[in-house]
Structure 1
Amino acid sequence: MTLMEDAKRGIITPQMGAVARDEGIDAKTICSCVAKGLISIPNNPARDCRVVGIGKYLSTKINANIGTSRDYINIEEEVEKAKTAEAFGADALMDLSTGGDLDLIRKKIMDAVDIPIGSVPIYQAAATQKTVVDMTSDDMFNAVRKHAKDGIDFVTIHAAVNQDAMKRIRQGNRITDIVSRGGSFTLAWMLHNGEDNPFYAEYDYLLEIAKEYDMAISLGDGMRPGCIHDASDGPSFMEFITLGELVRRTREANIQCFVEGPGHVPIDEIELSVKGMKNLCDDAPLYLLGPLVTDIAPGYDHITGAIGGTFAGMCGADFLCMTTPAEHLALPTKDDIREGTIVTRIAAHAADLTKEGQKERARAVDNKMAHARKNLDWDTQFELAIDGEKATKIRDSRNTGSEACSMCGDLCAMKIVSKALEEEKEE
C-alpha cells in the first residue's frame, strides 16, 4: 500500500510517527492530514533518508535547487553543493541537472545526502533526443519510471501545461511568456507535434507509475509569472484551476502530491495567489519559488525571494524553494547555495512565527534569544542563531574586550538598564 492508503485506513506508519515527533504534533493528526492530502511526506521506499513532512500545521520547509547545466558540468561541485545545502538547513533538494551523465549525477547526489530529493524527469527525456521536440511520450514516461526506480522521492511534472494553457498564452499580453524550463519544453513539444501534453492526456498512466513506487508528485507551475508584470494573470489562474483538478485525481489514486506556485509576484498580490491556489487546490501543500517581489535586484534575488517567501508563508505557503545571489545570472556556486539556504531559512522561520501549529514553538526560540541578548550570553546567542558561525566571526573580528558588542560597549542599553534596576532593588 502507499503511504496515503495506510493513512486512509488509520495506520500510523513510522514515517508519520517521525514527522509527529519532529513537529511536536499528535501522530493521529499527521495521519488524518496525510489521508486528506493536507500533508505530504515524500519518501520513496527505494531510498532510505530522513523523513520530512510538508503541509498543514507543520513548520515551513525549504528546498535547494542544484544540478549541472549543458554549459558547465562538474559532478563533484554539485555533490558539494548538495552537502552544503543539507549542512545549512535545507529540508529537501532538487536535482535539476541537464548536462553530462544524468544518471550518474543523480546517483552521486542521492548518495551524498540524507534528505528527500526531487527531480524533473522531462529534462532527462529531452536529453535522449537531439532536440526537445523530438522526444516521445514514451521517453517522458520512461524517464519518470527511471527516476522512481532509482529512489527519487518526488518528481515535478508540468501536467497542467495543456492546450487550454497554450491558448491563454497566445491570447495574453505577457512580457516573459513562459519561464518554467519544464513548461517551455512541454509547450514547444505540443506546438511541434500538434498534440496535447502527454502528462496531461495520459495522467492516469503517470499515477500508475507513481503508485507502483509510492513516489510523490509535485505538480509544476509551467505558467508561473516570470516578471512582476505577468503576475496574477489569466494563464496563471487558469493553471491553478487545472492543478486543482489534478490534485483531486491524484488523491483519489492514493498518491501524495503538492502544488508549485508563482515565481514573481508583487507583495500586494501574494496573498491573492497563495490563498487562491490553496482554495482551488483543496488546501494541498503549496511549494513556492520565492516569490520574488521585484525584478530589479539581480545579485540579491535571494533577498527578494526571502521577502516574498516570508509573506507567502504567513498566508499559507508550506514549502519555499530558495533562490541564490546567482538567480537570473549564472549557475550558483557552493557559496551561493549556502547564502540562499540560510536566507530562506530565515524567511521560513519568520513565517512560522505567525502560523497555526508552529507559532508557539517558533516564538519560544526567539524568546530564548531575547533572554540571551539581555544577559549578554554570547554562547547561547551563537547556538540559537540560524548562522552561528557567521555571527561568531563578526563578533570576534571586532571584539574590543567589552562584555557587550563593540557597537555600544559600556553604553549598552540593556547593560545600563539592568544595572540601574539592580541598584534600585538594592536600595
Structure 2
Amino acid sequence: MFHMMRRMCALIVAGAASVSFGLVAQSTAVADEGDSGTTPMYRLYNRNSGEHFYTANADERDYLLDQHWRDEGIGWVAPKHSDTPVYRLYNPNAGDHHYTVGAKERDHLVRQGWNYEGIGWYSDDSERVPLYRQYNPNAIAGAHNYTTSSDESDMLVSRGWHDEGIGWYAVAKGQAQQPVTMDKDGSYASIEGYMRLDGTGTGYHTKIDISDNRGAVVSFGIQYEKDIHLVSPRLASNTAFLVENVMSHSDVPGPEGKEYLYLDAAPLREDVKVRLSWYRDNTIRVYVNDLEVVRTRTRLASPFIFSTEGSVARNGDSIDAGIHGVRIKVGRDASSYGTMGEWNDRNDYFGLDAIISKYGQKVDQAGPYATHGGHVQGADFVFRGTSDIPGVDAKGQPWTWDTSFETIEPNTGEIGHPLSAIANIAQYRVDEEDDE
C-alpha cells in the first residue's frame, strides 16, 4: 500500500496543475488564417476531475495536452463570428468550466464567484447542428457536458444526467480523435507491441520502455496492484494503464525525480496494442490501439535503449505475461537509424524470467526500422516466474518493486537491480556523438 500511495500521490499532483489552467489563460475563438470562416472546437478530457473542456485555441489545447489531458478530437465546427457569442466561465473552487449563450446565466454565475473568461466561440445563427447540454447533479467538476451526438446525450440522461436542451449551435459536427500508426506518428523513436498481462499476488506489471545512458527512462504498460481502487475509485478493477516517467533518481526509492500517471482501466488476459513514442521536443506520447491517450515531458536523450519488461510487486508474487509483435523505429539518418545486435533477454532478477519466444525479422533497408543484421522486428516475449526477494528493508518493510534496488539480487550477488525480467536492445550508433 505504501508503494501504491506514493505513486498515486504523484499522479494527483500532476492532475492538479492541469485543472488550474482556467485561472491564468483566456480562450478566444480563433482559427487558422485562410479557412472558410469556421473554426474547429477541440475537445479534451481531464481524468482526475472528470471535466470535458472545449477551446478554439490550438495553443491552449496543446498546453493542456502537455498537462496530461486526453485529446478527444474535434467536438464540432463553430463559425468564426456570429451574432450569438458563447461565454466561458471558470469556477476556481471546483476547477470547472461552464459555457453559455445566456448573458443572464453568465452574470448570475459571476455573482456566485465564477470568473468570466470572455467569449470562447460563437453559435451558428443558422442553427444547422444543435449542441445538446446535459447536467450531472452529483458532480462537483465536470458537471456539464456538451455534444452534437444525440446518442451520447441519451446515454448520459439514462445514467442520471439531466437533459438541459440545446446549449448552442454548430456549423457542422466534429470528428473523434483518429488512429495514427507508428509509421505516421512523426516520432524520432518508438516501440510498440501487443501486450497481455496475467499473474497472481499483490501486484504484477508488463511494460515497454525507452531509456538512455544518463539514467532517464520512460515506460508504459498494464499494471495490476491490489487495492488501487481505494485511492482511485475509477480504477475499480485494480488494473490500469500506467506511465512511469523517471527523470532522475532511477535507483532510489521515493517519488523524487519521478512521475507516475495512472490513466484508464486496463484489461487482464487480453491483447492490447500499446506504443511509446519520443519526439524531438522531448515529449513522450503514449498510444493504445493507435489512439493517443496521454503525453508528457521527459529528460530522455538519444542514443536510446528499448526494452520489454515484466515485474511483480513483492516476494511470492507471480507473473505470466507477454508482449508480441514488438517493433522499433528510431533515428533520423544513417548514423542513428534502427537497432544494433540481437535482443538480450538475460536480465532476469529475483526469480523472474524474460524469454524470447519468437525471434523477429531482419530489416536490411536503410531507415528507422533497420536492424543491422539482428532479428528484431516483430519479436515475441513472455515473462514468467515467482519473485524470490525475502527479507525487509531498513524500515522493517518487505522489499517491493520500488525498493529492490537496495537489496542483494541472489543470482548476481549485486545490489541495484529491479524486481523485473527485461529484454532489451540498443539504438544503432556509428559513434558516441549524440545526433540531437
Say which structure is richer in strand: 2
Structure with the larger helix share: 1
Work out which of the two has the higher radius of gyration on C-alpha atoms and give 1 or 2. 2
TM-score range, shorter chain: under 0.3
Q: Larger relative CO (CA 8 A, sep 6+): 1 or 2?
A: 1
Q: Normalized against structure 1, the TM-score is what?
A: 0.25
